[in-house]
Amino acid sequence: MLTFALAGAMAAAGLCAADRPAERQRNQQKRVKEGVQSGELTKREARRIEQKERKLHREIVRDRVDGPGLTPAERAKIEAKQDAMSAKIAKEKHDAQTRKK
């Protein structure tokens, strides 16, 4: 019984890990949108962040296509880039620049 529960938890964790890049990307896009709406991000800052997001998305798609999904190394590389992107969003949202309303 415990074996089935453990196997189910491991399978669920694998599915979550496979979808984590997409989930993080959606969350970061939401943060950028909110930043523009609140005036914390200028349109130029948002445009630059979105360009980097698109580039990373293309990289994720390429990595998924060239094999049976993302390898642990590819996943680690993507997560590191998403961490950097998240820090960039936070930095831009809290800098002195604000959008003129």
Q: What is the pLDDT of residues 40-70, one digit of tens each?
A: 999 999 999 999 999 999 999 998 888 788 8
pLDDT at 9 > cutoff 80: no
- The answer to the question of residue 100 being in a domain is no
Find the domain containing 22 and state its range.
2-93
Q: Are 28 and 52 in contact (CB under 8 A)?
A: no
What pLDDT does residue 17 have?
Answer: 63
φ and ψ of 51, to 5 deg: -65, -45
Tell me the whole-structure pTM to 2 decimals. 0.73
User: Distance of CA 52 to CAs 19, 35, 59, 77, 101, Å?
Assistant: 20, 16, 11, 15, 25
Domain count for the chain, please give it: 1
Q: Are 79 and 71 in contact (CB under 8 A)?
A: no
- The answer to the question of residue 44 being in a domain is yes
- The answer to the question of residue 40 being in a domain is yes
